[in-house]
Structure 1
């Protein structure tokens, strides 16, 4: 998934929001303030039921790295859950390593695989396992004077390098192409330090990941729901940005929200990949749901009223979900971080979701998403296996 704020809002001004460093005041532990706009206050009355710890809202800028921002935010919340002082992790360190691995994969596949900025939540875990982690203050990825991510030129450059390699003008590849390719990435994002100091102690990325972050990559399980594959087994996540061909556990549609509910109640947040192209997903209003009518079938009055308070929703079936995926109506657009549960004035439940588009909407970087939307539009979710209901964990063998 790779949608960014510019693509969604079409506003040049949205990239004025930078990702500041985290301090104790930035950490939100059961203290999310739902400071809605006046319009939203008049339309919705949300009451928090569960609100787990998270760090401050960031902006991914003009880059398709939502998957890295969402999953690193998720790991920061895992540190909070484990009783650790969370560190703002370098989102671009994860992305940089994915670019390197993706380029190698691209050449091996003769160019017949996705390139670009896109990735999946499992990419952060895979890179954590192989490369470790670093604080953002050590590696910002802002290597040429900008104060925000702006990756289009770099993307064009690395695509040009890899296209030349795939054409293989020498008839056989030299060992230097990977050095040349990595050098292009590092010229834009900066070289990764072999060692660095953090709070008076020297670390490598691997020792920092082990000693400070302290998560076990094997504890994280990725799931989705498809009717065209056996349940409770692994299946390929068939989306273009799954460049590493990772598999996910296939569970039943209603079990996705069962997993999220159970995880939240046990203190675990959830990394969430989804479609955000629907007209009923409104970043500005901080609200997403599944209307009973298609947008094109709505009257002008109904369209104007779409986000004016709680609405009835379409009942979702596994067949509808699969059809939307197969027809490209559900696409792998974006990744976010589910951090809690709330109810509106009618008693309906919503997930509290942290985004990476800056504090630019009615809820200062958060939004409220209905369970039906999650059932319909989720492409994948990732959770610590400790958050999975015990009966489902047995079926999956985890």
Structure 2
């Protein structure tokens, strides 16, 4: 190993002090902060909020201090459909309802994984992976589909937010504490020679405790409910004793098996035109496995545009924190200029960022528009976020096409837009990726 000598450090001092630009940038950054000092005017000029395809101006939702973006994004796609078809105003579906059942199902998923790995040492990578975070708020498209198919949806007025759904840190802290304790109980029971029935009975006993904890934090979810509303024409409508599943069928009515996840992961271990799944990734035991088809970015964007041209918004996952201005709602690769100011060139490509843990999907949002040039190529994209209306343009963001290329990893589109070859590839036996693969990242 090579130590840092005083001679080398002295040279660094001399080089820095000889550069007048560095001292000027030092003054700016120490007073104003790094990103504010490097923000460019050009990114704001290029990314205005005018789009040739613009599907909605509905008010945005707010996930607050929780990692539920993947639920919000999915429920927002449904909400646009309901608002349009039933002439509703300011309508939201309950994110807290989906959140309750996700926590419940993730707890069971975790305990089942604990049982399945009980023959492995505590220090094994898979067991450590489980115990590091037994459950969390984040998720992926196929996971939210599993919840909708099993538990349906309800209006937000029927199951409103609680403190623990809007600010989930304490809930997660103590639920994970409980689940790690449950993991120890089950592993020690199995190590002692308990049979399958005994282990299952103990697991169910532990899940009752989890269920009670969730209900006391989030509220007991309704098994059926009454729903009434007036539409924009002032017509009164009412439902009596409708179940969440029946509400989904009547008011949303989308066949979720008609939708597929498309990813863009240009790494050597994931050839394009193949399907993939992720080991140990999921939430609802017995539901369909998470599955994607990996396509190049040109085709990826063509599919998103095709769906929006048909009037339907697009659920998508990206690394939203990369070169983004949260307050202005601008996602653009030229948002900050490190090169001119600091002589730092950030040249790592998308594959390199995935391989070297610099980037992965962190957040799900909804594509609600796109601006196409005269040749039909995308210039910028309209994004519905779930951070409330105090950021961006009343909660909507704009992403440059270059930013989409670099930091978007997943979209959800209807199967009908895939070619026969692409659909066959999606439905083929998927390659199983490791639990810690970046494509297994959960959007929050």
Is residue 317 of structure 2 the alignment partner of residue 273 of structure 1? yes
The 5 Å alignment of 1:1-398 reads 45-53=48-56, 55-79=58-82, 83-85=85-87, 87-110=91-114, 112-113=129-130, 114=133, 115-142=135-162, 146=163, 149-168=166-185, 171=189, 173=199, 174=202, 175-199=204-228, 200-201=238-239, 202-226=241-265, 227=267, 228-236=269-277, 246-278=290-322, 280-291=323-334, 296-299=338-341, 320-342=349-371, 349-386=379-416, 388=417, 390=419, 396=425
- The alpha-carbon deviation at position 246 of structure 1 amounts to 1.2
Which secondary structure does the structure 1 equivalent of 2:52 belong to? strand
**1:90–1:137 Cα contact (<8 Å) kept:** yes
Q: 1:54 to 1:97 in 2, by over 3 A?
A: farther
- The alpha-carbon deviation at position 157 of structure 1 amounts to 1.4
**1:70–1:121 Cα contact (<8 Å) kept:** no
- Indicate the structure with greater helix content: 2
Tell me the distance in 2 between the aligned counterparts of 1:328 and 1:79.
Answer: 39
**1:157–1:184 Cα contact (<8 Å) kept:** no
Tell me the distance in 2 between the aligned counterparts of 1:77 and 1:296.
Answer: 39
**1:232–1:395 Cα contact (<8 Å) kept:** no
Residues 91-139 of structure 1: per-residue CA shift (max 9 Å, x gap): 1211221111111111122264342111113322111111111111111
Which secondary structure does the structure 1 equivalent of 2:51 belong to? strand
Give the aligned CA root-mean-square deviation in angstroms: 3.3
Tell me the distance in 2 between the aligned counterparts of 1:186 and 1:99.
Answer: 11
Which secondary structure does the structure 1 equivalent of 2:349 belong to? helix
- The alpha-carbon deviation at position 231 of structure 1 amounts to 2.8
Which secondary structure does the structure 2 equivalent of 1:171 belong to? helix
Which structure 2 residue ranges, 5 or more long, are not aligned?
1-41, 115-126, 191-198, 229-237, 428-444
Residues 230-271 of structure 1: per-residue CA shift (max 9 Å, x gap): 433320258x97667612111122211111111111212100
TM-score by length of 2: 0.68
Which structure 1 residue ranges, 5 or more long, are not aligned?
1-38, 304-312
Larger displacement relative to structure 2 (98-107 or 229-238): 229-238
Tell me the distance in 1 between the aligned counterparts of 2:86 and 2:144.
Answer: 20
Which secondary structure does the structure 2 equivalent of 1:382 belong to? strand
Larger displacement relative to structure 2 (368-377 or 113-122): 113-122
- The alpha-carbon deviation at position 149 of structure 1 amounts to 0.7
**1:46–1:343 Cα contact (<8 Å) kept:** no
Tell me the distance in 2 between the aligned counterparts of 1:254 and 1:154.
Answer: 41
Q: 1:361 to 1:302 in 2, by over 3 A?
A: farther
Larger displacement relative to structure 2 (165-174 or 133-142): 165-174
**1:321–1:377 Cα contact (<8 Å) kept:** yes
Q: 1:323 to 1:42 in 2, by over 3 A?
A: closer
Tell me the distance in 1 between the aligned counterparts of 2:95 and 2:332.
Answer: 29
Q: 1:299 to 1:157 in 2, by over 3 A?
A: same
1:35 alignment counterpart: none
**1:132–1:207 Cα contact (<8 Å) kept:** yes
TM-score by length of 1: 0.75
